[in-house]
Structure 1
Amino acid sequence: MSDTSYRIGLGERRFGRFNWMGLRTLAGREITRFLVVWTQTLLAPLVTSALFLMIFNIAIGPQRGDVMGVPFLTFLAPGILMMTVIQNAFANTTSSIVITKVQGNIVDTLMPPLSGLEILLGYLAGGVARGLLVALGIALGLGLTLGIWPAHPLVALVFVLLGACFLGGLGIVAGVFAEKFDQMAAITNFIVTPLAFLSGTFYSVSALPPVLKTLSYLNPVFYLIDGVRFGMIGTSDSSPWLGLAVCSGATFAVCLLGWAMLRTGYRLKA
């Protein structure tokens, strides 16, 4: 290939041609990155989820009674599933970016002819894949051990995908913003964990005082957990359609911010 044709090819790609090969390569790298340490990234979340369910069942399950017309353990299981999905999706994208920044090899991602959108989708692919595998493992375990099979499988799948995309996108934003591991840990501890725990994972928001109930309705993670709960057991605190709209809007906003950061090289380029 001549030098002239090479320059024309780059120009065509830059003005509209999508770099599918680059996207596949980046997505494959992100998926392989967590698969090679599957005991840490996949097995550990499954064990943690099982421990959550076992401890809550032993400690307060028999005394708690029914919640929203279903046994407490049945009510709790979908919340644990979604909480695990979003934590792992966030951890996958944010750790990938922060590690490359700290090690100084983020340039390996920035140098290839990848647009901001292609880099965003590549990182998201890893977070979504990890979230889906964790969700599949937990859902299979719930069905085999507790007999909890999805009442509306498609609804559950949609909200799992939205949850992985939303927290995966938020992980990209946090990873770009964070310069050190302690900053990443602070974002996880003071933003992501409270959003997950204070969103109806372990309780129904209908039992909260009016002020706390209003705050819960402002939390997008509440709608993720509520949507998965509807998909898994057929009951929820709010309309799944409202949850779909809120989660879609929140996911789009976070991914748009992540795209803008990657496109401009904010905190990535020296």
Structure 2
Amino acid sequence: MAEHPIPANVSAQDPLPARSKGRAAFPAQGVPTIHRVNRMGLWTLYMKEVRRFFKVQTQTIWAPAVTTLLYLMIFTVAMGQGGRQVLGVPFASFIAPGLIVMGMINNAFANTSFNFLAGKIQGTIVDYLMPPLSEGELMLGLIGAAVTRAVLVGLAISLAMAFWPGVTLTARHPWAIVWFGLMGSILLSVVGLVTSLWAEKFDHAALITNFVITPLTMLSGTFYVIHNLHPAFQAISRVNPFFYVISGFRYGFLGQSDIGATNAAVFNGALYLGLLNVVLCGALYLLLRSGWKLKS
């Protein structure tokens, strides 16, 4: 049998030409095709998570808006009668920002607390572990999708409240709305990811929701100012990071806050949340690198 001649531009050691009819050839062995950041993989993971919750948007976006409106109606009827004012504004306008950001952070937690837990229970955890994504990229994709859901929920609640009588939402300090909204969403996204790492069944995630997230949210000053509390309970409230999320977000709309009497106190609260998120993200990164509860 006659042997086919090897073209002059192709060596005998490399059977694949560098270019074949205008199409790029496979890279040589040992040559990386993904460099510092796997942008395509990160975007794919982010879109996968966004499409997952967007497929059931009635449950993940619009249902929280309805639930929040029920909170607003009940507490306005129960505590806002007789023209009651808090921080110089009607009671409905006082609690509205807190309800908006409360819905945001609760849904951020719900989104990430489902990721690894569902994968471990359904046997699809390999979908997160096998792709060529670093721990940082994995965190960024999952947290980014959770924050996206939180922002959409916040917009849906704000739209619904815009038609509610007695509620006035005016952005007096847009930076505070953006900062405290994002920091609160990232905080609960990270806590949700740690929960999904730790949990072995859905009951474990529900345990964190019912006995940690819900009490801290309800006792964060959403429906009251902490100045009305006993000094001992005021000190406890100031340790609760949710208090700074709620009060800082409210400051963005009302221009007033029970964090402190000065704007510097609000900036300190913003700094506190930022540093807390950095610490928690670092701890989550180390947990993912160790493979805790993920790899045998």
TM-score by length of 2: 0.86
SS in structure 1 of the partner of residue 31 of structure 2:
helix
Q: 1:234 aligns with which of 235, 239, 255?
A: 255
Distance change in 2, residues 1:232/1:9 (3 Å): same
The residue aligned with 1:185 is 206
Where does 1:102-181 land on structure 2 (aligned, <5 Å)? 102-145=121-164, 146-181=167-202
Q: How many residues are aligned here?
A: 265
CA distance in 2, matches of 1:53, 1:130: 21
Task: State the identity %.
Answer: 42
Encode CA deviations 1:234-268: one digit per residue, 9 max, x unaligned: 11012220111111011112211211111221101
Q: How far off its partner does 1:7 sit?
A: 2.6
The residue aligned with 1:245 is 271
Moved more, 25-34 or 139-148: 139-148
1:170 touches 1:255 (CA, 8 Å); kept in 2? no
The residue aligned with 2:13 is none
Encode CA deviations 1:132-166: one digit per residue, 9 max, x unaligned: 01111222333343332322223201111111111
Q: 1:209 aligns with which of 230, 240, 260?
A: 230
1:221 aligns with 2:247: no
Structure 1 consecutive aligned stretches of length 4 or more whose deviation exceeds 4 Å: none
Encode CA deviations 1:161-204: one digit per residue, 9 max, x unaligned: 11111100111111111111000100111111111111101110
Q: 1:9 aligns with which of 9, 24, 32?
A: 32
CA distance in 1, matches of 2:26, 2:144: 35
1:159 touches 1:224 (CA, 8 Å); kept in 2? yes
The residue aligned with 1:76 is 95
Q: How far off its partner does 1:45 sit?
A: 0.3
CA distance in 1, matches of 2:204, 2:221: 27
Q: 2:119 aligns with which of 92, 100, 111?
A: 100
Moved more, 95-104 or 31-40: 95-104
The residue aligned with 1:264 is 290
1:55 aligns with 2:74: yes
Q: 1:29 aligns with which of 43, 48, 66?
A: 48
Encode CA deviations 1:2-47: one digit per residue, 9 max, x unaligned: 56x343206x73xxx1111111011111111110000000010000
Q: 1:88 aligns with which of 88, 107, 120?
A: 107
TM-score by length of 1: 0.94
> Root-mean-square deviation (CA), in Å?
1.5
Q: 1:42 aligns with which of 61, 79, 90?
A: 61
CA distance in 1, matches of 2:139, 2:194: 10
CA distance in 1, matches of 2:152, 2:239: 28
Moved more, 250-259 or 43-52: 250-259
2:69 touches 2:161 (CA, 8 Å); kept in 1? no
Larger radius of gyration: 2
CA distance in 1, matches of 2:83, 2:292: 49
CA distance in 1, matches of 2:68, 2:233: 26
What amino acid is aligned across from residue 77 of structure 1 in structure 2?
A: A
Q: Which runs of 5+ in 1 are unaligned?
A: none
Distance change in 2, residues 1:21/1:6 (3 Å): farther
1:98 touches 1:178 (CA, 8 Å); kept in 2? yes
1:173 touches 1:257 (CA, 8 Å); kept in 2? no
2:93 touches 2:168 (CA, 8 Å); kept in 1? no
Work out which structure has the larger RCO, using CA pairs closer than 8 Å and 6 or more positions apart in sequence: 1
